[in-house]
A = this chain, B = another copy of it.
Amino acid sequence: MIHIDSTSNMPIYQQIYEHLKRKIMAGTLKEGDKLTSTRVFAKNFCVARNTVENAYSQLCLEGYVLNKPGSGFIVQGMNDHLPSFLKNDLMHESQYAELERSSFEEPKVYLYDFQYGNLDILFPYSLWRRFTTEILLSFDAQRINSYNDKQGELDLRIEIMKYLQEARAVSCTPDQIVLCCGTQYALDMICKLFSDDGRKLAMEEPGYNGARTVFVNNGFEIIPIPIQSDGISIPDLERSSVKLTYITPSHQFPTGVVMPIQNRLHLLHWATQQNGIIIEDDYDSELRYHARPIPSLQSLDTSGRVIYLGTFSKSLSPGLRMGYMILPKWLLPKYHTMFAKYSSSIPWLEQKIVSLYMAGGHWERHIRKVCLYNKKKHDVMLKTITQLMGDKIIIQGNNAGLHILLQFVNGEKQNWLIDKAREYKVKVYPTSPFWHTKENASENTLLLGFSMLNEKEIVDGLTLLNKAWFDQ
């Protein structure tokens, strides 16, 4: 017997539908049973016949009953596939509240976090609001309703081309640029473009683990090639007989080594001879503090051996999820074939905002501001470390980017250093994750980022670290 609740939020036809569905699933109504006719049902329960018809139609559509002309609505069999236990109970509102309250973050035990990657205060909030409004009020706004260019908006690609040409001597046309929701997405596409070449890839050792995981997830075997004082060891690369390599030549991650011009040319020579491909990840090249940025490897490449990657994460915002890759021209037909049916990975509105932002000259001003701001922090960091810790440590990878490495000359070990720092509520980071071959990892080197802290916090954090490590 169905209880129809006319005060319920659930429409009456749905109550009827749910009631009958439950009876069929539970076996109370069996295969071949005939439902009460809509006329009789309506009369019995004092509801409109139309309401009952709606409920019955839904049951038909989903296959619970069949409307046989002349015979009425016949219950259909559930075969033998009715699950022995019913559907999990739904969650209740109280449980949502629980979830909303519970924090998934580690409780804040640290006073100073030398994290690498997150930025602090320079995001252009008010310009972002202004451009959002401008675009959403423009005639163009309707384009948010479309699937747009899989490579990204043309205006934005032109802006990126101009910027890279000026700042990084990159030579390309907009048709070579593919906007991506981050470097990892770009690397994933590259893996697909080169998946039929034996799936082997040479990587710097140590190198960027966020890239390594993408290669591994795409089934690539990683051939680690040692980093020396002048970048990736090219003789080792040559011996490896790998065709595809991922490198960070302008500011090697994490060691900070700059690859000198001779090695760049040597590497390009290798690629030209071996039909090799060099993936150049130029992740933080804007941020060089005591020299001009190093021109990109791509700018020296005359035979289309370099795929260039860049990102807005280090200078503008990691929360934007926006980067790009520049493919050599000969690779474009393959790209268009493989990804013909793909959609862009970046929202249209965000692309238009960044495009206006760059076209208005804000990006260049922003880069200068960010550079100056981070240079100050970098300089304070180096000065303080040198003053406090002197010859007990060697600083690696300075003068650029948002992090440095600290190597401990008296053999203090990574875990001990991290634990001691934690006692003083300072968070510092291991470098071991950057090694592919874990046994080779440097045991006495830490990574300290300075992008999230201000100058005072840097000094205070380092002072605590000095106490933690050396003030015995």
Which residues from chain A sit less than 8 Å from chain B, CB to CB?
14, 17, 54, 57-58, 61-64, 76-83, 85-88, 90-91, 96, 99-100, 104, 117-121, 123, 125-126, 128-129, 132-133, 136-137, 141-149, 154-155, 158, 161-162, 165, 169, 171, 173-174, 181-182, 184-185, 188, 192, 195, 209-210, 213-214, 217-219, 230, 258-266, 268-269, 290-292, 294-295, 299-300, 302-303, 313, 317-322, 338-350
Instruction: Given A265-B83, A294-B61, A302-B87, verify A173-B99 contact (CB < 8 Å).
Output: yes
Residue in A62, A121, A230 with the greatest tally of chain B CB atoms within 10 Å: A62
Instruction: Given A57-B291, A344-B321, verify A144-B171 contact (CB < 8 Å).
Output: no
- In the complex, what residues of B have CB within 8 A of residue A344's CB? 321
**Cβ B87 vs Cβ A165 within 8 A:** no
- In the complex, what residues of B have CB within 8 A of residue A123's CB? 141, 144-145
**Cβ B129 vs Cβ A136 within 8 A:** yes
**Cβ B269 vs Cβ A80 within 8 A:** yes
**Cβ B148 vs Cβ A184 within 8 A:** no
Instruction: Given A266-B79, A347-B347, A350-B350, verify A319-B143 contact (CB < 8 Å).
Output: yes
In-complex Cβ contact of A266 among B81, B104, B295 (8 A): B81
- In the complex, what residues of B have CB within 8 A of residue A76's CB? 260-262
A466 CB → nearest B CB, Å:
28
- In the bound complex, what is the Cα–Cα distance between A145 and B85 (angstroms)? 47
**Cβ B58 vs Cβ A17 within 8 A:** no
A174 CB → nearest B CB, Å:
6
- In the complex, what residues of B have CB within 8 A of residue A87's CB? 169, 171, 299-300, 302
- In the bound complex, what is the Cα–Cα distance between A340 and B322 (angstroms)? 20
**Cβ B346 vs Cβ A321 within 8 A:** yes
- In the bound complex, what is the Cα–Cα distance between A146 and B266 (angstroms)? 37
- In the complex, what residues of B have CB within 8 A of residue A162's CB? 96
In-complex Cβ contact of A219 among B195, B302, B343 (8 A): B195
- In the complex, what residues of B have CB within 8 A of residue A213's CB? 338-342
- In the complex, what residues of B have CB within 8 A of residue A263's CB? 63
**Cβ A265 vs Cβ B346 within 8 A:** no
Residue in A96, A266, A339 with the greatest tally of chain B CB atoms within 10 Å: A96
The closest CB in chain B to the CB of A346 belongs to B321
- In the complex, what residues of B have CB within 8 A of residue A340's CB? 213
- 6 nearest A-B pairs in the assembled complex, by CB-CB distance: A63-B260, A319-B348, A81-B269, A81-B265, A144-B319, A119-B145
- In the bound complex, what is the Cα–Cα distance between A217 and B192 (angstroms)? 6
Question: Besides A90-B165, A129-B132, A147-B318, 15 other CB < 8 A contacts?
Answer: A57-B291, A61-B294, A63-B264, A78-B265, A81-B265, A86-B302, A87-B169, A87-B302, A91-B161, A129-B136, A145-B319, A210-B342, A214-B342, A321-B346, A321-B347
- In the complex, what residues of B have CB within 8 A of residue A345's CB? 181-182, 185, 321, 345
Residue in A61, A88, A148, A300 with the greatest tally of chain B CB atoms within 10 Å: A61
- In the bound complex, what is the Cα–Cα distance between A206 and B218 (angstroms)? 28
- In the complex, what residues of B have CB within 8 A of residue A142's CB? 120-121
In-complex Cβ contact of A294 among B62, B96, B218, B294 (8 A): B62
In-complex Cβ contact of A320 among B78, B144, B265, B269 (8 A): B144
Q: Could you show 7 A-B contacts with beta carbons less than 8 Å apart?
A: A63-B262, A78-B261, A81-B269, A118-B145, A144-B317, A145-B318, A217-B339
**Cβ B78 vs Cβ A145 within 8 A:** no
In-complex Cβ contact of A338 among B100, B155, B217, B262 (8 A): B217
- In the bound complex, what is the Cα–Cα distance between A147 and B311 (angstroms)? 13
The closest CB in chain B to the CB of A318 belongs to B147
A90 CB → nearest B CB, Å:
6
- In the complex, what residues of B have CB within 8 A of residue A79's CB? 262, 265-266, 269
**Cβ A62 vs Cβ B261 within 8 A:** yes
In-complex Cβ contact of A100 among B14, B125, B158, B261 (8 A): B158
**Cβ B14 vs Cβ A81 within 8 A:** no
**Cβ B292 vs Cβ A85 within 8 A:** no
The closest CB in chain B to the CB of A59 belongs to B261
A237 CB → nearest B CB, Å:
14
The closest CB in chain B to the CB of A250 belongs to B62
Instruction: Given A128-B136, A145-B120, A321-B345, verify A165-B269 contact (CB < 8 Å).
Output: no
